Amino acid sequence: MEPLSFEELLQVYRTIRQESLELIRPLSTEDCQIQSMPDASPVKWHLAHTSWFFETFILKKFAPQYREFSPQFDRLFNSYYNAIGEQFSRPSRGVLSRPSLGEVIKYREHIDQFVAEFLLSESCTEQALALLEIGIQHEKQHQELILTDLLHGLSQNPILPAYSETTAIEQTDIAALEWFEFSGGLTEIGASEDGFSYDNERPVHKHYLEPFKLASRPASNGEYLEFIQDGGYSRSEFWLSDGWALLNKGLTEGQKAAPLYWQKQDKNWYQFSLAGLQKLNPNQPACHLNYYEANAFAAWSGKRLPTEFEWERASHTALEQADYLDLSKLQPGIGSQAGLSQMFGGVWEWTASSYLGYPGFKPFAGDAGEYNGKFMSGQFVLRGGSCVSPENHIRSSYRNFFYPHQSWQFSGVRLAEDI
């Protein structure tokens, strides 16, 4: 793969930055301020933090002509980089009424101006370019977070406002569930050196697999509803101990025995989405499941979750289709094609694999080493991307990771079984 010229890289940078601003076009200033839970961040904070990343890791280190916008932003928009310095409390980001959204936009423009000048200057080095590519991919991650965090925030409003009322609702038949067999043996896992990848995807290494089967598509809302109607949320035999305890704690606090964003009204099920409250579409992939729910559904089905290594092996033979971020859609598409489908986009797919470093794992050099490695504790891997993952971002080797109780991402389940 030929490396991009400085001019081409600058155009990629500008496109990504503009796409972040396109996401806030339907929003009010107040929308950009809300923080509905500690796991989420205000839209305004995401816009500032991604700019802070370019400023901190590139401009302040490599650009001698850089002029700082505000020294106070060092603390306000540092997410979790202890080597960089102190961070403002994550659960309290929603109280930051200042800087205003307008000032954050000016901050972005300030950063963009200096990044453009730096890229075309003699000060630009290979090390800086590598960090710039990380920063571009980092902004894509936050574009997804802008939408998932905002969805949770809007769901707390009793009038259930839509992010976009023009979102299309797909109506088509779902393909029958099929099973695809994969032989065992040694397989290569991990990202090659051709193109960008995160440190947690490397190095390429051998992994031994037993023969297995994988479902042709993720489980649908209709299939998950059967689990609910069969008492799935009241039958402890399907649940991991921690999940059962969490479930019962939630039920005593008034949560519903159903996935996040599902509501039952007059015997009908509805689902809150970025298009507002909709009648539950039984053919859409079940999403916003936490790991415990995904695992319980698999146990009820007499199946199991795939390992991330099985998932990656199978993904190389999947249909070449992707269901990524589309502002006219913003919800998972229906698996209407026969064959191994919907492995990219749609819903993140939980795996049975703990999030750990691969053999020979080495974090990014320097301060960026805190990006992934320090989170390798107590989390599980998800694969494949979602309907709000930007294009040209997800790969077969891409590893997302969340704690087992978290469900505000577009996370679903694809079943597997042994042969």
Residue 168 pLDDT > 70: no
Cα–Cα nearest to 39, from 152, 156, 143, 161: 152
Confidence of residue 135 (pLDDT cuts 50, 70, 90): very high
Domain ranges in the chain?
Answer: 6-155, 179-418
Residue 192 pLDDT > 60: yes
Confidence of residue 173 (pLDDT cuts 50, 70, 90): very high
- One fold for both 6-155 and 179-418? no
The CA distance from 396 to 385, in Å, is: 10
Cα–Cα nearest to 20, from 1, 44, 55: 44
If you classify domain 179-418 with CATH, what class do you get? alpha beta
> Taking each helix axis from N to C terminus, what angle separates 6-23 and 43-54, rounded to the nearest 10 degrees?
160
Average pLDDT over residues 72-100: 97
Average pLDDT over residues 343-364: 97
pLDDT tens sequence across 10-38: 999 999 999 999 999 999 999 999 999 99
If you classify domain 6-155 with CATH, what class do you get? mainly alpha
Count of CA atoms in the C-beta half-sphere (13 A) of 232:
22
Confidence of residue 57 (pLDDT cuts 50, 70, 90): very high
State the pairing for strand pair 276-279/268-273. antiparallel
Kindly report the backbone phi and psi dihedral angles of residue 206, in degrees, each rounded to the nearest multiple of 5, phi listed first.
Answer: -90, 140
The CA distance from 2 to 130, in Å, is: 15
Contact assessment for residue 187 and residue 206, using Cβ atoms and an 8 Å cutoff? yes
What is the 3-class SS of 95-149, one letter each residue? HCCCCCHHHHHHHHHHHHHHHHHHHCCCCCCHHHHHHHHHHHHHHHHHHHHHHHH
The CA distance from 288 to 272, in Å, is: 11
The answer to which of 225-229, 332-336, 377-381 has the lowest mean pLDDT is: 332-336
Confidence of residue 194 (pLDDT cuts 50, 70, 90): confident
Cα–Cα nearest to 139, from 110, 160, 112: 112
Confidence of residue 347 (pLDDT cuts 50, 70, 90): very high
The pLDDT value recorded for residue 1 is 54
The CA distance from 262 to 259, in Å, is: 6
Amino acid letter, residue 150: L
The pLDDT value recorded for residue 383 is 98
Q: Which residue has the higher pLDDT, 172 or 403?
A: 403
Q: What does the mean pLDDT of the chain come to?
A: 95
Contact assessment for residue 283 and residue 172, using Cβ atoms and an 8 Å cutoff? yes
The CA distance from 182 to 104, in Å, is: 50
pLDDT tens sequence across 278-323: 999 999 999 999 999 999 999 999 999 999 999 999 999 998 889 9
The pLDDT value recorded for residue 2 is 62
